[in-house]
Homo-oligomer: A and B are copies of this chain.
């Protein structure tokens, strides 16, 4: 997605609004907010105005008129260009069809989790599971309410997608927490022993220099695959 002139998804949302009819930036942001898009696309003023300027610079939108009512700040109404329509369709098609590697904070956390003792990690993950369950409950009631009022699947798609992903995360996190707690998760013993030694004042560097000596045969694995 780096090759697009304007890469912020907010720009796509702007194009989507202007594809409907000309608007001024603030109207774009209110429209998006009203339609609940802020739940799937980060909207903030700083980005909005720089994104609009950038879209204009690249010929994807053009200023139509600048009006001023009373002593209010002036409003510039923009309209989409043909190039803008093409970019909108192409970009949207790409977003839907092409998975991109996204780095989540949980992945970062998991990849560095050996930095905390297993008992702590198990507790932290269990807490996360609780919070995920709470989020899921909220989301479910929101979805149920919307359905009750007659909103169709089409407008709930972001919500149901989020539901799917949250629920997959919950299942993973829950069973991981359990596996660490009960020790069924392979590697917990060495992991635990490592923190025991550290607590006793042995440096990580020392342990890694001679894992078998400090941790027994199970530590051998660290020679090839050091922890994070």
Contact = CB atoms under 8 A, between A and B. Distances in A.
A96 B165 contact: no
Interface in A147-204: 149-155, 157-158, 160-162, 164-169, 171-172, 176, 179, 185-188, 190-191, 203-204
B227 A40 contact: no
A141 interface: no
29 contacts: A9-B105, A9-B108, A13-B108, A19-B204, A20-B205, A21-B205, A37-B111, A40-B108, A40-B110, A42-B103, A92-B112, A92-B116, A96-B113, A96-B124, A97-B127, A99-B135, A99-B166, A99-B169, A102-B105, A110-B158, A151-B221, A153-B187, A154-B185, A154-B190, A154-B191, A164-B168, A165-B165, A165-B168, A165-B169
